Amino acid sequence: MGTRTPAVYAAALALIGLMLGPVVYIIIGGFRTNSQITTDPAGLPDPWELGNYTGVLTSDTFWRQVGNSAVVAAATTIGVVTLGVMASYVLARYRFRGRGAMYALFAAGLMFPATVAITPLYILIKNLGLVNTLPGVILPQIAFGLPTTIIILVPFLRAIPKEIEEAAAIDRCGRLGFFWRMVLPLSVPGLITTGILAFIGSWNSYLLPLFILNDQDSFTLPLGVQAFSSVYSVDTAKVLAFTSLSMIPALLFFSLFERRIVGGLTGAVKG
């Protein structure tokens, strides 16, 4: 076992390096000039150029796209968590005909990628008059985020002892009161986990906004990166700066709540 440990650590470090290498390269590349990148693609900035980042940060377009991404991600997260916990509560605590089939249907949703439904989904959004609007992105993202949320939350809610519900009933606490006073506080780890996953998934979403949004004023950051790269295709350093600034919010969000994700998924497995 002792001889395997160094090899395991070495393999883990190599894997981490492969994953973080491109991210570090993009961030550092934003501090270089195009001539530096052309002369020495793998070198460090010499000197460090701040103009690429300041140019992006002083751009109204960048902050408009940040705002659009924040609105879409926040609304998607709220919708996924709210609808997910209510549906999970019914599936976990009530017995009714078709419950197993309904749960299986949500589980099957995990195997249904958005790419398969993108054409009929676009037609539906167009018929609803939501093309080129943020709600046209938010509503489908909530729908596609529900299967993961329900799969994670149902074990949490099933694990709540029935004795607690019986004690609440003796105290004349109705089902709705039990849901608000007991179920929600006890399922906070699962709610945080599903909320983080929904937020990051929405923030990084590209395909759905690509089909729904066609005006730069309504672009989210992933679309903004593509548009920026097309406009400044010859300015590699500036494109790298824009790309790195677009990644930072999701990276920080994930880094801050990484333990919450692991804890929530562990609780779901135990449940």
Domain regions of the chain by residue span: 67-232+249-270
Residues 210, 221: contact at Cβ < 8 Å? no
**Per-residue pLDDT at 262:** 59
pLDDT over 60 at 268, yes or no: no
Q: What is the pTM of this model?
A: 0.83
Question: Which tokens go with 175?
Answer: 């089902």
Best-predicted range by mean pLDDT (137-146, 153-162, 214-223): 137-146
Of 107, 159, 180, 148, the C-alpha closest to 261 is 148
pLDDT at res. 263: 57
Share of the chain above pLDDT 70, in %: 93
Interatomic CA distance for residues 210 and 205, integer angstroms: 9
What number is the average pLDDT over the span 195-216? Answer: 89
Alpha carbon dihedral 190, 109, 271, 178, in 10-degree steps, equals: 60
CATH topology of domain 67-232+249-270: MetI-like fold (1.10.3720)
Q: What is the pLDDT of residues 89-114, one digit of tens each?
A: 888 888 888 888 888 888 888 887 77
pLDDT at 3 over 80: no
Contact status, residue 189 vs residue 156, Cβ threshold 8 Å: yes
